[in-house]
Amino acid sequence: MTLIVALDRVSPGEAEQLVADLCDVVEGFKVGLPFVLSAGVRLVEKLRGACPSRLWIADYKLADIGYIMRLVAEEAASWADAVIAHSFIGVDGGLGELAEHLAREGKKLILVVSMSHPGSRDVYDRATPYIAAVVERLRPWGLVAPATRPEMIALYRRKAPWAKILAPGVGAQGAEPGEALCAGADYEIIGRQVTGAPEPRAAALLARRRQEERLRLCRAQS
């Protein structure tokens, strides 16, 4: 499956309903800070327990010294299969420690390499050679790259053929379902367009259908 749903601004009750509705139609759930801070870790553990077969991602966008990132990863260990960190902080004393810790624990590291908002061009996208060097050195399981700028996905697809690419920015931020998959992403992350829909399951199924249609088109054209 190619859809990951972001849980950000949802109430505890909505989250439980969303997970029940979506468990069999998504690849996983990305749990963001707004949700964890408001609902608490215990609820996230309960959500995971209700849908244990899916990929659960802690999106804390870590950007600290290795020691602190390891402590945060330990806090998420009870429910998260994967942890997202920023790549710009570098390896020695930073991401290297986090990567080693996660590998020991059998958890996945996902690095942000470019972002979906326009300001990503100010720093992240000017630093591509340096970011790519961090990615090459750490060889993380996954990368976050923007569905809103498919050219960045294509670029990192070439630079890191082994990595899973997770692409946010679909729906509320303007990218169409399937665009990022056509550029080489493995999963598209959708938040508000699904979680804010009157019928989230129907919205997720529609997004999946549109992904498939777009993929068929772009494969036929290539």
Nearer to ligand BMP, 102 or 116 (CB): 116
Closest CA to 84 of 110, 63, 106: 110
Q: Alpha-carbon distance 7 to 11, whole Å? A: 10
Nearer to ligand BMP, 150 or 171 (CB): 171
Q: Is 144 in the site for ligand BMP (CB under 6 A)?
A: yes
- Containing H/E element for 28? strand 28-32
Q: How many residues bind ligand BMP (CB under 6 A)?
A: 20
Rule CB under 6 A: choose which of 2, 3, 6, 141 binds ligand BMP. 6
Q: Alpha-carbon distance 47 to 27, whole Å? A: 15
- Containing H/E element for 30? strand 28-32
- Containing H/E element for 209? helix 200-221
Active site residue 61: yes
Q: Which stretch binds ligand BMP (CB under 6 A): 38-46, 72-80, 135-143, 183-191?
A: 183-191
Residues 8-67 that bind ligand BMP (CB under 6 A): 8, 30, 32, 59
Nearest residue to ligand BMP, by Cβ distance, number only: 191
Longest dimension (CA), the chain: 48
Rule CB under 6 A: choose which of 94, 142, 171, 178 binds ligand BMP. 171
Q: Is 168 in the site for ligand BMP (CB under 6 A)?
A: yes
- Count Cβ atoms within 10 A of the Cβ of residue 195 and give its class: 0-12 exposed, 13-18 middle, 19 or more buried: buried
Question: Binding residues for ligand BMP, per CB under 6 A?
Answer: 6, 8, 30, 32, 59, 112, 115-116, 144, 146, 168-169, 171-173, 189-193
Residues labelled catalytic = 61
